[in-house]
Amino acid sequence: MTDTRYPCLAGRAVIVTGGASGIGEAFVRAFASNGARVGLLDLDAAAGTALAEDVAASGAPRPDFVACDLLDIAALKAALDLLHARLGDAAVLVNNAANDRRQDFLEVTEAEFDWSLGVNFKHQYFAAQAVVPQMRALGFGSIINMSSVAWMGGGPSMQAYSAAKAAVVGFTNSLARDVGKWRIRVNAIAPGMVITPRQRALWFQDETQIAAGRARQSVPDAIEPADIAALGLFLAADDSRLITKQCFQVNGGSR
């Protein structure tokens, strides 16, 4: 894969939530390799610290890791305030954190429903609320909200997750309308079947499941976290300055 470089990202403050592993890790590595000053939020302190050290060892700017439970909105705001103090105004926010835990619809409790909406959507709303004033001060910015193809195709046992990921797109469209006058762009990315180590361990232990998913793609290659991060870089860069209020599917042309 071509490792495209965006000189405009060098030195800019970029916030990535849920960035310690999976697609989030790919975002962190991609932005850091472009010279961005990355602020990384994640609940997994060990993984976040290890990633920051590994990125720094590669010669890229060391990400600034802050452990944070994104279900705690007060803690999220405090973490974003801390990163603001350390990194300055954020030019990019990647609302990546999510959890696609499967749930039996007839057994889901109100607390489990609230958890799913909280971990998959609510923190995106309030993280954006916190950084928009910073982007307004800069005179530009890019917010990238992670959605999913699950709500489009009707993934089984994912009703609350799918509802949250559909809400992300509605939120993206509405926010883009309000903040565009400040040259802040808001877009969503809906990944297809990305088999991270977590996905393989929990949902795709049978290789035939993976083969069946790839067979539905127009392009049969595996969708890697780096493919999602590559789109994120473009949407964050000045090259996409007039692209906003969009949801981009990275699914190999799945049907």
What's the pLDDT tens digit per position in 38-60?
Answer: 999 999 999 999 999 999 999 99
C-alpha dist (Å) from residue 78 to 42, 60, 70, 164, 176 = 13, 26, 11, 24, 25
Give the C-alpha separation, 255 to 212, whole Å. 12
Residue 226 pLDDT class (50, 70, 90 cuts): very high
Residue 137, domain member (yes or no): yes
CA angle at residue 98 from 243 to 53, to 5 degrees?
90
Band (15; pLDDT cuts 50, 70, 90)? very high
Evaluate if residue 242 carries a pLDDT over 50.
Answer: yes
Least confident of 1-10, 63-72, 114-123, 181-190: 1-10
Q: Where residue 198 sits, what CATH number does that domain have?
A: 3.40.50.720
Instruction: Give the residue with greater pLDDT, 188 vs 3.
Output: 188
Which residues touch 138 (CB under 8 Å, ≥6 apart)? 89, 91
- Range 86-91 average pLDDT: 98
Q: What backbone phi and psi angles, to 5 degrees, belong to 139?
A: 95, 5
Average pLDDT over residues 233-237: 98
* CA 113 – CA 109 distance, rounded (Å): 6
**pLDDT of residue 2 exceeding 60:** no
* Model pLDDT, residue 235: 98
Written as six digits, the tokens of 87 are: 């990194």
Greatest Cα-to-Cα distance within the chain, rounded to the nearest angstrom = 51
Residues whose CB falls within 8 Å of the CB of residue 16, separated by 6 or more in sequence, listed in order: 24, 27, 28, 31, 38, 39, 40, 41, 94, 96
Does residue 142 register a pLDDT over 70?
A: yes
Residues 168 and 175: beta-carbon distance below 8 Å:
no
Residue 1: its pLDDT value, please?
43
Cα–chain center distance at 181: 24
Q: Kindly provide the b/e burial profile for residues 211-237, where b requires at least 16 CB atoms within 10 angstroms of the residue's own CB.
A: eebbeebeeeeebbbbbbbbbbbbbbb
pLDDT at position 205: 65
Instruction: Summarize the confidence of residues 12-27 as an average pLDDT.
Output: 96
pLDDT band, very low/low/confident/very high, at 26 (cuts 50, 70, 90): very high
Whole domain around residue 141: which residue ranges? 7-250
- Please tell me which residue, 73 or 203, carries the higher pLDDT value: 73
In a domain, 73, yes or no: yes
pLDDT at 237 over 70: yes
The total number of structural domains that make up the chain: 1
Residue 84, pLDDT > 80, answer yes
Q: Which residues are catalytic?
A: 161
Helix/strand/coil percentages in the chain, nearest 5: 50, 15, 30
pLDDT at 119: 97
Which sign, positive or negative, has the C-alpha torsion 5, 251, 26, 86?
positive
From residue 182, give the alpha-carbon distance in Å to each of 29, 38, 134, 232.
Answer: 28, 23, 11, 20
Question: Does 155 score more than 90 pLDDT?
Answer: no
The confidence score (pLDDT) of residue 243 equals: 98
- Interatomic CA distance for residues 103 and 210, integer angstroms: 21
* Nearest alpha-carbon partner for 236 in 3, 43, 16: 16
At 142, is the secondary structure helix, strand, or coil?
strand
Quote the pTM value: 0.94
pLDDT of residue 203: 61
Mean confidence (pLDDT) of the chain: 94
Q: What pLDDT score does 204 carry? A: 67
pLDDT at 230 over 90: yes
Asked whether residue 255 is domain-assigned, the answer is no
Q: In sequence order, what are the beta bridge partners of 248?
A: 189
